[in-house]
Amino acid sequence: MAMISTYCPHFNGLRRSSPKLDSSQSQSFLQHINSQLRLASSRKPCRAVTAMAGSGKFFVGGNWKCNGTKDSITKLVSDLNSAKLETDVDVVVSPPFVYLDQVTASLTGRIEVSGQNSWIGKGGAFTGEISVEQLKDIGCKWVILGHSERRHIIGEDDQFIGKKAAYALNEGLGVIACIGELLEEREAGKTFDVCFQQLKAFADVVPSWDNIVIAYEPVWAIGTGKVATPQQAQEVHVAVRDWLKKNVSEEVASKTRIIYGGSVNGSNCAELAKQEDIDGFLVGGASLKGPEFATIVNSVTSKKVAA
């Protein structure tokens, strides 16, 4: 693995100061992380955890966000139903709430369906919200929580997101838990600080990590067309997995899938998929195009070749 400066000529590094983490994290762990990210180019990157989740499957999610009409979604579902997808990939799509029923009723069972958000508890007098129970009732298996657009536009904080995740998991819904730094946070060397703080908010409250997929999405790469290089993404994924090993357990670090999101498309997915700690993708705009989304799903073949 080359030096960070080789991968990120625009940035000075991922950390400039020690992170504000709980006392259980020792200085030796931080030194270990920093040393891992500065390995000489002659040394092959390695780690003592498996590249994939306990299920052994790559994971690709499509976040349709606030896009689509009945007609366009009918066409998209038709394209997905006819697509030839590699079998050893978990595939999930997340339509807007108003189209969930249409999608669950017409989409092949090969692809699971996710909500884009859920409430912190049972439903009731919460105008505009959607409950976990409602998502399950309509056939959803997953929910996306902590997406940067919820954090930075809507104003959801780490603790609120953590409580949402805990409730969803307790009720039997899988969680795609999003983390990631703003551009100014990366430029200030705070990438790890931010991601670890967001992870800790999940770790403090979730009952189990069995049904959690972590999605690392650098905010500066979401919808901007500016994708993190494979090496930049891999650096953070390694650090996230090591954080799980140190702060949760070695088993959780090994089994938890860590996927990448941020302007992933049919052209860049293969190179990203080759990275050892990238266990799949959370896809935005490209997931609205059935053939391109299928290409991204099938990039698992690059993972097999790389292995």
Active site (catalytic) residues: 147, 217
Q: Which residue has the tokens 């000529």?
A: 9
The per-residue DSSP string of 2-61 comes to: --HHHH-TT-S-SBSS-----TTS-HHHHHHHHHHTT--TTSPP--SS-SS-TT--EEEE
Can you count the helices (H) and strands (E) in the chain? 14, 8
Of 274, 281, 263, the C-alpha closest to 213 is 281
CA distance to 13, 143, 199, per residue, from 165 (Å): 31, 9, 12
- The residues, any chain, with a CB within 8 Å of residue 266's CB and separated by 6 or more, are 286, 292, 295, 296
**61, burial (CB in 10 Å: exposed 0-12, middle 13-18, buried 19+):** buried
